[in-house]
């Protein structure tokens, strides 16, 4: 059974969730003569299968794995390969992998000839529930996470749950951080499902995880359908990310995104509570559910000053004013503008070990 979740807006498309979805690719590629397939080494054989079914002339491009591939230098190498293959505006870029590869593939597609068609074939939990949906594409630079990129919606998204069978357990857990984020900002049934059976939530072959994927994709689809370019509502998807991205930068992008976001969610919940906006129980529920699935919830006390300066380049900041997504209650996200440093430090004390 394939579930189709529609993403609306000026450039609508569907997210397909199911099993054995490779056969859906030709429909998304259309009559393109050339397809570039970007992938990293762990996904080589899956990328080869995708290349075979595409029915087009394929340029395979193997990129460094995980965040090491999400750089301007790697993007430039991809542009060179597209140039050498004579890629035109009717050709298509396909990214086969987790969020890092699909963010890169989307960015290469957005920038090549000022924008060509692209399709993420998402293979990680985090990629399925978040990175492949919504058209945010980009790369990291030394100054910060995802600071260079473009909004470039895909032609469609394939979330083949069969791929999760080979995803390392740590990466599956990392993906649950974004699923839990969706639970707190919009769909509390997600939290009840995980709390009810945390083991089932991490079982790649089970129905609970499938329901979690579909629910999280629906949360994201509803938001990006009305606010592709993050002029308002879309900011809620950044819950936990202001500190999370600062941690990733401090760790030079060696931490898993979902792990950093998990710590960031604890911080955001503390900030919400300490600013008088969130009740104690909902705040405490963050730590409980994140720890239940084995996600990290602490970070070094001594790094606060460095993290604070990294947070100043967060995309939600306006000039010198920091802005955070907080909760005014379960599934009631809001914005906290310009909190004073003592409040931020107090919230960080709840994360610091
Ligand atoms: N564009 C967006 O809206 C958006 C949203 C959320 C996250 N992101 C980005 O996504 C990235 C994180 O994505 P991620 O958690 O998928 O990490 P990732 O892409 O680094 O993948 C994690 C690891 O899992 C491996 N892997 C992926 N699928 C596999 C499979 N089926 N079998 C075996 N190994 C597999 C990868 O090769 C990698 O080693 C970050 O860069 C983050 O910034 C983007
Ligand atoms: O899609 C969004 O919007 C999000 O904020 C989802 C986040 O989970 C994701 O990590 C995104 O890449 C962060 O975007 P950024 O604009 O803060 O870099
Ligand atoms: Zn994220």
Rg (CA), the chain: 19
pLDDT computed for residue 353 by the predictor: 77
Distance 236 CA to ligand 2 centre (A): 9
Domain boundary among 166, 183, 213: 166
Task: Say how far apart CA 88 and CA 120 lie, in whole Å.
Answer: 19
What b/e string do you get for 118-146 counting C-beta neighbours within 10 Å, with b at 16 or more?
A: bbbbbbbbbbbbbbbbbbbbbbbeeebbb
pTM: 0.98
Domain boundary among 117, 133, 166: 166
For 112, the domain range is 3-166
* Total structural domains within the chain: 2
CATH, residue 113: 3.40.50.1970
pLDDT computed for residue 129 by the predictor: 98
Indicate if 160 and 175 belong to the same structural domain: no
Indicate if 160 and 286 belong to the same structural domain: no
Annotated catalytic residue within 46, 181, 220, 323: 220
State the pairing for strand pair 117-122/92-97.
Answer: parallel
**Ordered per-residue pLDDT tens for the chain, 353 residues:** 999 999 999 999 999 999 999 999 999 999 999 999 999 999 999 999 999 999 999 999 999 999 999 999 999 999 999 999 999 999 999 999 999 999 999 999 999 999 999 999 999 999 999 999 999 999 999 999 999 999 999 999 999 999 999 999 999 999 999 999 999 999 999 999 999 999 999 999 999 999 999 999 999 999 999 999 999 999 999 999 999 999 999 999 999 999 999 999 999 999 999 999 999 999 999 999 999 999 999 999 999 999 999 999 999 999 999 999 999 999 999 999 999 999 999 999 999 97
What b/e string do you get for 33-57 counting C-beta neighbours within 10 Å, with b at 16 or more?
A: ebbbbbbbebbeebbeebbeebebe
> Nearest CA to 87 among 62, 65, 108, 64?
108
Indicate if 320 and 248 belong to the same structural domain: yes
Indicate if 274 and 192 belong to the same structural domain: yes
Indicate if 146 and 173 belong to the same structural domain: no
Active site residue 259: no
Atom of ligand 2 nearest to the CA of 316: 17
CA 88 vs CA 58, 75, 152, 217: distances in Å: 13, 17, 17, 31
pLDDT computed for residue 277 by the predictor: 98
> Nearest CA to 205 among 232, 249, 167, 176?
167
SS3 113: helix
Distance 3 CA to ligand 2 centre (A): 24
User: Which residue ranges are tagged as binding site for Zn(2+)?
Assistant: 178, 241, 257
Ligand 1 pocket mutation pick from 131, 136, 145, 228 by most atoms within 8 angstroms of CB? 131
- φ, ψ (nearest 5 deg) of residue 182: -65, -35
Annotated catalytic residue within 230, 249, 273, 323: 230
Indicate if 180 and 156 belong to the same structural domain: no
Instruction: Give, using CA atoms, the residue closest to atom 16 of ligand 2.
Output: 315
> Nearest CA to 55 among 25, 21, 94?
25
User: Which residue ranges are tagged as binding site for NAD(+)?
Assistant: 65-70, 99-103, 123-124, 136, 145
pLDDT computed for residue 218 by the predictor: 98
Annotated catalytic residue within 152, 257, 285, 323: 257
Atom of ligand 2 nearest to the CA of 146: 18
Q: Is 256 in the pocket of ligand 2 (CB under 6 A)?
A: no
Indicate if 130 and 236 belong to the same structural domain: no
pLDDT computed for residue 266 by the predictor: 98
CATH, residue 260: 1.20.1090.10
Task: Say how far apart CA 124 and CA 250 lie, in whole Å.
Answer: 24
Domain boundary among 166, 187, 212: 166
Indicate if 322 and 345 belong to the same structural domain: yes
Indicate if 241 and 261 belong to the same structural domain: yes
Indicate if 57 and 128 belong to the same structural domain: yes
Indicate if 31 and 56 belong to the same structural domain: yes
Indicate if 297 and 190 belong to the same structural domain: yes
Q: Is 71 in the pocket of ligand 2 (CB under 6 A)?
A: no
């Amino acid at each position: 059974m394939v579930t189709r979740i529609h993403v609306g807006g000026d450039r609508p498309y569907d997210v397909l969730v199911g099993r054995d979805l490779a056969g859906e690719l030709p429909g998304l590629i259309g009559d393109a003569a050339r397809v570039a397939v970007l992938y990293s080494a762990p996904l080589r054989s899956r990328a080869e299968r995708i290349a075979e079914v595409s029915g087009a002339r394929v340029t395979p491009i193997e990129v460094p794995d995980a965040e090491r591939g999400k750089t301007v230098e790697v993007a430039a190498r991809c542009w060179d390969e597209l140039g050498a293959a004579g890629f035109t505006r009717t050709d298509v870029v396909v990214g086969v992998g987790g969020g890092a590869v699909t963010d890169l593939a989307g960015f290469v597609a957005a920038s090549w000839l000022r924008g060509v068609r692209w399709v993420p074939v998402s293979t990680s939990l985090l990629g399925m529930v978040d990175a492949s949906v919504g058209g945010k594409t980009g790369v990291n630079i030394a100054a910060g996470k995802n600071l260079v990129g473009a909004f470039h919606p895909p032609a469609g998204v394939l979330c083949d749950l069969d791929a999760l069978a080979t995803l390392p357990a740590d990466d599956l857990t990392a993906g649950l951080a974004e699923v839990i984020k969706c639970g707190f900002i919009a769909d509390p049934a997600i939290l009840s499902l995980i709390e009810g059976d945390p083991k089932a939530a991490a079982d790649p072959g089970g129905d609970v995880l499938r329901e979690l994927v579909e629910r999280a994709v629906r949360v994201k689809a509803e938001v990006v359908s009305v606010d592709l370019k993050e002029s308002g509502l879309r900011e809620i998807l950044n819950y936990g990310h202001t500190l999370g991205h600062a941690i990733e930068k401090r760790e030079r992008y060696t931490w898993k995104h979902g792990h950093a976001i998990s710590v960031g969610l604890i911080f955001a919940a503390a900030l919400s509570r300490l600013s008088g906006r969130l009740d104690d129980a909902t705040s405490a529920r963050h730590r409980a559910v994140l720890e239940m699935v084995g996600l990290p919830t602490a970070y070094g006390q001594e790094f606060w000053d460095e993290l604070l300066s990294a947070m100043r380049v967060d995309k939600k900041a306006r000039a010198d004013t920091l802005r955070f997504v907080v909760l005014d209650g379960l599934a009631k996200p809001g914005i906290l503008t310009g909190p004073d440093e003592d409040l931020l430090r107090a919230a960080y004390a709840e994360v610091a070990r």
